[in-house]
Amino acid sequence: MPLSNADEQSILELFIELLPPERWEELEGEKRPQIFSLRVVAAMMLLQRLDAQGTQAEVVRKLAAGQLDHLLPASKRTRQKLISDNTGRYAAACGQFPPELVKQVCDEMLRELRKRIQPAAEGERVVLLVDGSSVSLEHERELLSHYPPSRNQYGEAHWGMVRVVVLHDARTGIALHPQWGPMYGPETVSEQQLAEQAVEQAPAECVILGDANFGIFSFAYDVVQGQRQVLLRLTAQRGQALGAGKLLPYGEEPFCWRASRKDREKNPHWPEEAKVEGRLIAVMQKGFRHPLYLFTTLTEELGDVLALYQLRWNVELDLRSLKHTLGLFHLRGKSQEAIARELQVAMVAYGLVRVFMAAAARRRGLSPRHLSFTAACSLLNLMMAKLCCGNREQREQGLERLLRLMAQSKLPHRSKPRSYERAVWGFRQSFPPRRPQSGAGKTK
C-alpha cells in the first residue's frame, strides 16, 4: 500500500525544516538573528555530508546560491543576496556550538526520521544489526593523543584511528546513535564495550543480531538484562566448547549459558549465578563453508531463526554505504568535538536518504533493502535544488520525480549463490607504502 500524499509531504517538510521552527528557537536560545544560526549550520553540515565532494566550499556555494533561503532570517544581507562564499565564517560557526547541543539536535532528528519510516507489520519484531568498523583521522596532535595510530614492524602509522559501533534496523537500514572510542593505545575500547553502550538506546523487546565477535557471554547477558532478545553467532571454538558440535549437521537444544569464573572477575557486580536461558543451534547451512553455531533467546522455529540470521550481512552493506558513499572512511575534523559532529551528522544524513528510500519502495510494494543506496543518494543530490526551492509547487514536483526515480533504482537479483567466500577486498595502491629509510635524518 503506497504512502498517502500527506505522508510523503511530511517527509519533504522534515527534509526542509529538519525540526519545527519553534524547537530551533528553544535549542538555540535568545540570540541576535544571523546567517549562521544553529538551524542553518545543521542543514549545511547535512548537505556537506550528502554531497559527493563533501567540502565546506561546496556547501557554502549552495548557501550563496539560495538553496537554504527558506532557513535564513529576514535581514538586509539575505534580501540583497550579499552572502559571501568564503568558508571561514561557516567553519567558525560549526565550532561555536557545544558538542552536547549538537548531540541533542542529532538525536532528535534521528527520532523524527524513525517516526516517518515505513512502520513494521503488526506483531513484527524490531531487529537491530550490530557491527563495528574503523575510521581514520587527520594527523593532528590533539587527535593523536586521544586516538593513537596503529603500529607494525615498520613503526607507527600516520593516521589516528577510531573504532565505531553502529546499530542498524535490519528491515529499513535506518541507524541509531553511534558509539566510538580509540582503537589503539592505553585507553583502547573493544567493539563489545561500545556495543553494550549502543544497545542501551535500543527499544525493549527488540532483537539484537550480531556476528561471532559479539557472541560472548558478557554481551548476551547485558542485552538480556535490558529486556531484549539476542541472536548471536559463536566462533567454532566457543560453539564446540559449549557442546554444539554434537548437534551437527542440523540441530538445536535448550541451553543455559552461565558466566565463567573470568567473566565474574571482570564484572564483580554480577550475581554469583549470572546466566542466560536460550537455545544452542548448530547447522551446516548452505552458503557457509563451515558449521554455523548460534545462540539465541528467540522461540521461533529453527528455520525462521536461520532465515533471520541471514539478514546480518545487511549491516556490512550499511557500513560500506556510510564509509564510501557518504565518505565516512576518513574524518576531516581536527578536534574531538569536530569528530563527534561528523559522526553524528553522518548518521542523520544516512537516515534522511533511508526515509526517502522507504517512501519510494512502498510505492512499488518493495522492501527498502531492494533499492540501491548509492543511486538514491546520488538522486537526492541531483534534486536538492528542487526540493529546497521557495516555490511549493516546484518542491512537490521535485519530490514526485525523486521518489519515482528512486523506486526505479532496484538492486539486481542474484540468481546464483556466491562462488567465493566473503572477504575484504583491498584498494589498489597508486604509490608504495612509506617506510623509514636507514640512516635518514643523520648528519655527517
Same domain, 9 and 92: yes
Q: List pLDDT tens digits, range 208-228.
A: 999 999 999 999 999 999 999
Domains of the chain: total: 2
55 part of a folded domain: yes
CB contact burial 79-115 (16+ within 10 A = b; e otherwise): eeeebeeeeeebeebbeebeeeebeebbbebbebbbe
State the Cα torsion 69-70-75-77 to the nearest 10°: 0
Pick from 54-58, 222-226, 298-302, 366-370: least confident: 54-58
Same domain, 313 and 187: yes
Residue 62 to residue 43: CA distance in whole angstroms? 11
Residue 420 to residue 87: CA distance in whole angstroms? 47
Residue ending a domain, among 284, 319, 354, is 319
17 part of a folded domain: yes
Pick from 20-29, 107-116, 332-341: least confident: 20-29
Instruction: Provide the percentage of residues in the chain whose pLDDT is more than 90.
Output: 55
> What order of strands is seen across the sheet that includes strand 250-258?
179-182, 161-169, 127-136, 207-210, 229-234, 292-296, 275-283, 250-258
Same domain, 260 and 134: yes
Asked if residue 301 has pLDDT above 90, the reply is: yes
92 part of a folded domain: yes
Cβ partners under 8 Å of residue 336, min gap 6: 99, 142, 143, 146
Same domain, 161 and 93: no
Q: What is the pLDDT of residue 358?
A: 92
Note the Cα 357 to chain centre separation in Å: 16
Residue 393 to residue 379: CA distance in whole angstroms? 19
Average pLDDT, the chain: 87
- Cβ atoms of 132 and 165 within 8 Å: the answer is yes
Residue ending a domain, among 319, 336, 360, is 319
Which triple of cell numbers denotes residue 261? 569464573
Same domain, 105 and 93: no
Domain that holds residue 227: 101-319
Q: What is the pLDDT of residue 13?
A: 84
Same domain, 221 and 135: yes
255 part of a folded domain: yes
Residue 391 to residue 331: CA distance in whole angstroms? 36
Asked if residue 321 has pLDDT above 90, the reply is: yes
Which phi and psi (to 5°) does residue 357 adopt? -65, -40
In three state form, how does the secondary structure of the chain look? CCCCHHHHHHHHHHHHHCCCHHHHHHHHCCCCCCCCCHHHHHHHHHHHHHCCCCCHHHHHHHHHCCCCHHHCCCCHHHHCCCCCCCCHHHHHHHHHCCHHHHHHHHHHHHHHHHHHCCCCCCCCCCEEEEEEEEEECCCCHHHHHHCCCCEECCEECCCCEEEEEEEEECCCCCECCCEEEECCCCCCCCHHHHHHHHHCCCCCCCEEEECHHHCCHHHHHHHHHCCCEEEEEECHHHHHHCCHHHHCCEEEEEEEEECCHHHHHHCCCCCCCCEEEEEEEEECCCCCCCCEEEEECCCCCHHHHHHHHHHHHHHHHHHHHHHHHCCCCECCCCCHHHHHHHHHHHHHHHHHHHHHHHHHHHHCCCCHHHECHHHHHHHHHHCHHHHCCCCHHHHHHHHHHHHHHHHHCECCCCCCCCCCCCCCCCCCCCCCCCCCCCCCCCCC
Q: Which of 267, 322, 360, 301 is nearest to 129 (CA)?
A: 322
Same domain, 168 and 301: yes
Same domain, 34 and 119: no
432 part of a folded domain: no
Which triple of cell numbers denotes residue 272? 554469583
Q: List pLDDT tens digits, range 130-182.
A: 999 999 999 999 999 999 999 888 889 999 999 999 999 998 899 999 999 99
| Cα atoms in the 13 Å half-sphere on the side-chain side of 333 | 25
Cβ partners under 8 Å of residue 38, min gap 6: 24, 27, 28, 97, 101, 105
203 part of a folded domain: yes
Q: What is the pLDDT of residue 314?
A: 94
Same domain, 87 and 139: no
Same domain, 248 and 265: yes
Q: List pLDDT tens digits, range 239-251.
A: 999 999 999 999 9
Count of other CB atoms within 10 angstroms of residue 413: 6
Same domain, 58 and 191: no
Same domain, 149 and 87: no
Residue 169: give its domain's CATH number. Answer: 3.90.350.10
361 part of a folded domain: no
User: What is the pTM for the complete model shown?
Assistant: 0.89
Give residue for cell 559571501.
84
- Cβ atoms of 308 and 127 within 8 Å: the answer is yes
Count of other CB atoms within 10 angstroms of residue 264: 16
Q: Name the most confidently modeled range: 18-32, 159-173, 389-403.
A: 159-173
Q: Exposed (0-12), middle (13-18) or buried (19+): which is 226, by Cβ within 10 Å?
A: middle
346 part of a folded domain: no
pLDDT band (50, 70, 90) for residue 444: very low
Which phi and psi (to 5°) does residue 125 adopt? -75, 150
